[in-house]
Each structure stands twice: as structure tokens, then as C-alpha cells.
Structure 1
Amino acid sequence: MKVGIMGGTFDPIHIGHLIAAQCAYEHAGLDEVWFMPTNVPPHKQHAPKATSQQRWDMVCCAVEGQAHFLPFDMELKKGGVSYTFDTVSLLRKEHPSIHFYYIIGADMVQYLPKWYKIDELVQLISFIGLGRPGYTLEMGQLPASLRHAVQLAEMPLIEISSTAIRQRKAEGKSIRHLVPDRVYDYIEGNGFYGS
């Protein structure tokens, strides 16, 4: 079985995340994609605006009814800082028969050499780097030990970010069509991200 891991703060989850997951799913012939909200991401300076429970609820809303997209709360349950190596080590112990693929933006691929315990990590998991139109990734710049672990998939250029969505909400602008309908209803119903 082949499973893609879509990690992120998801503050909030938006249609760009779902499109990225679908592109990776189709490109690599995955059986499922697990959406895993991070607890505390090591590379972000600011804490998420929404609570862990709210971010989890939004992920559940976003993937409901999509058989091959599943919410997965392992990092939220574990607590603390979320390092990919620690998460993947646990996943491999709990699901030894699954081949995991970590889904990342092509812009993150060039930073893989700086990831925590990357040499050990590439022995446990593969990566799907999602390319964007106009962005050229030089795979030759990656160390040879990493190149074999990364495959590139194309996705449409979607200029949506969780930060921009929160900003629009704070300015009193609509975020409809930027997030799935059920996520929109959840945000509106709970008054998140307002000014």
C-alpha cells in the first residue's frame, strides 16, 4: 500500500492543499493521502491562530466524503515540536507494510539537506515534490543520496496561502471558494480569524 502524508499547520486548510494532495495522489499512484496537522512546526516562529482542536476539525471537514483522503491526528496526539523524522519513525513502526511518501512543495525540496536527520529519513520515506508553473527545481543541486528519494509532480499554479486567508478574514473580506464549503461554514460559524 502507498500512502502520501500531507503535513501542515492547516490554519486553515484550503483548496490549494486539496489540489496538491490530488496531484500527488494521481502522479504517484497512491492508495490514500493522510492529512496530518502538525502540533508545533519547527520552522514557524508564530503559534497557529486556531487551536489544535479547531485545526483538526477543519481538516476533518475538508476531507469528509473523499474516500482516498483521510484525517490523521498522530502529531496532535503526540504533542510537542513536530519533526518529520520522529513522525515517520513512528509511522513505520505502526504501519510496517505501508510505503509512505511525504508531500512537499518543490520550493521545500531544495531545503531537504537541512532537514533534521535527513540521511536517516530518506531510508524510511520517499518525497513527492509538487512543482509550480514557472518554478524550476534543479534536482542536480541535491546530494546524490537525496535525488533517488524525490519524485516531482506537476500541479497548477494556485496562489493561495493560509496566511492570506487569515488576512482577508481580518480585513472583513470573503474567503468563500478559497476553502472547502464545509471549512467555510465552520470558520464562519465559529467566528475565526476575524479582526
Structure 2
Amino acid sequence: MKKIGILGGTFNPPHVGHLLMANEAMHALGLDEVRFMPNAVPPHKEVAYMPSDAQRIAMLQALIKQEPKFCIEQYELQRGGTSYTVDTMTALTQREPESRFYFIIGGDSVSTLHTWVRIEELVKLVTFVGIMRPGYVATSPYAVHMLDTPQLDVSSTLLRERLLQAYTVNYLLPQAVEHYIRKEGLYGAT
């Protein structure tokens, strides 16, 4: 049975914290691959500025190009509309019945699992994998395989703010992602 990690999010922009989460889960659980899955419309957050789907895919491609076991899952973008994880994972498990899915989430999301749409169904479809995040207490009534990993306090919000203020993002974004953002003029960057 193939073991597949899924790391979902807006990836607005994708950054080294996403790479760290995916890499730690891949090695700790012996995953065959980790798929980065951008949301079409995220149900848990309002986003003031969102690059186009093509731009987010291009940033993700730049992010993951060094790791052959990382790839992009475009199911939610192709489906469109609000991205409810339970609907997506139902479709993916039907499409790939010989695979076992591990849904990777940050420690900040662990405590909010009870708010996810149809969570009782979802926990039967995937194994949740939690990655600790500085400043968050990760507790949940649902089974979450917590990984003790190095912690990096970086967020897409922080990066958008730094790019807008023309402040350094060195070492928080791979150079290829930063180059793409500046070339496209995303987040007010030049």
C-alpha cells in the first residue's frame, strides 16, 4: 500500500516552513510521497489577496523542485469552490483505493479540528499528522499523530508583510520562490 502525505493550504506564498513540515513527516512516517495541495477557496480563513492559481502552482513548483518525492495535487483547484477536506479526501480515496493518506497539519490547526466540516467522516479517511508550531498548544479529541520536529516560526502572513515593506525574506523563502514573486510583482514586491 502506497503511503501518501497531503499538505494542504493556500500557499500564499509557500515557504521553508512548508518544506520542513513535509520533509519531517515524510521521513518520520516513511511516506512514499508528499503532495502539496493548494485550496481553491479556503473555508477557514478570509484571504485579502490571493495570487492566481497558476501563480501559486508556479511558486509551489519552485518550492519543491529539489525533492523528487514532493509533488503538487491540483484536485481542489480543478474542482473549484470552497475546499472542504472531507470532500477532497473522499474523492482521493475513491480515486486511489490502494493508497493510505496522511493529512499533515500544523500545530495551530490541531486544536481546531472539531470545527472542520464532517470531521467524524474525515478521521476515518485519513491519519492526521500534527507538526508542532511555536506558541500553540496542540490538543484535540481526535487522534492525531504528533511529530516532534524542529520548529520554525514563519508564516505566509509574515512573508506577505515583509515583501510589502521591502524587508528581507532571505532564508525564509527558497531563492527560486522569491525570484518568481519579484518577477511577477506579487505582494507588492519589486
Shorter chain as normaliser: what TM range?
over 0.9
- What's the secondary structure of 1:119's corresponding residue? helix
Distance in 2, Cα, partners of 1:138 & 1:170? 34
Q: Mind listing any 5+ residue stretches in structure 2 that lack a counterpart?
A: none
**Structure 1 counterpart of 2:138:** 137
CA shift, 1:180, in A, is 1.2
Q: Is the 8 A contact 1:41 1:81 kept in 2?
A: yes
CA shift, 1:107, in A, is 2.4
Q: Is the 8 A contact 1:49 1:193 kept in 2?
A: no
Q: Is the 8 A contact 1:2 1:32 kept in 2?
A: yes
- What's the secondary structure of 1:174's corresponding residue? coil
Q: Is the 8 A contact 1:9 1:48 kept in 2?
A: no
- What's the secondary structure of 1:2's corresponding residue? strand
Q: Give TM-score scaled by structure 2 length.
A: 0.93
Q: 1:36 to 1:48 in 2, by over 3 A?
A: farther
**Structure 1 counterpart of 2:164:** 170
- What's the secondary structure of 1:45's corresponding residue? coil
**Structure 2 counterpart of 1:156:** 150
2:74 is aligned with what amino acid? D
**Structure 2 counterpart of 1:40:** 41
CA shift, 1:60, in A, is 1.1
Query: Could you list the per-position Cα deviations for residues 35-73 of structure 1 after superposition, in whole angstroms to 9, with x for gaps in the alignment?
Result: 011110001122543111111110111111311111111
CA shift, 1:133, in A, is 5.6
2:40 is aligned with what amino acid? N
**Structure 1 counterpart of 2:115:** 114
Please state if 1:186 is matched with 2:186: no
Q: Give TM-score scaled by structure 1 length.
A: 0.90
How well do the aligned residues superpose, as a CA RMSD in angstroms? 1.6
1:21 is aligned with what amino acid? A
Q: 1:80 to 1:152 in 2, by over 3 A?
A: same
Q: Is the 8 A contact 1:132 1:155 kept in 2?
A: no
2:161 is aligned with what amino acid? Q
Please state if 1:21 is matched with 2:22: yes
Query: Could you list the per-position Cα deviations for residues 3-46 of structure 1 after superposition, in whole angstroms to 9, with x for gaps in the alignment?
Result: 10000100100000000111111111111100011110001122
Q: 1:77 to 1:134 in 2, by over 3 A?
A: closer
Matched residues, number: 188
Q: 1:44 to 1:136 in 2, by over 3 A?
A: closer
CA shift, 1:175, in A, is 1.7
- What's the secondary structure of 2:62's corresponding residue? helix
Percent identity over the alignment is: 41
- What's the secondary structure of 1:61's corresponding residue? helix
- What's the secondary structure of 2:180's corresponding residue? helix
Q: Is the 8 A contact 2:110 2:139 kept in 1?
A: no
Q: Is the 8 A contact 1:4 1:32 kept in 2?
A: yes
Q: Mind listing any 5+ residue stretches in structure 1 that lack a counterpart?
A: none
Distance in 1, Cα, partners of 2:39 & 2:134? 27
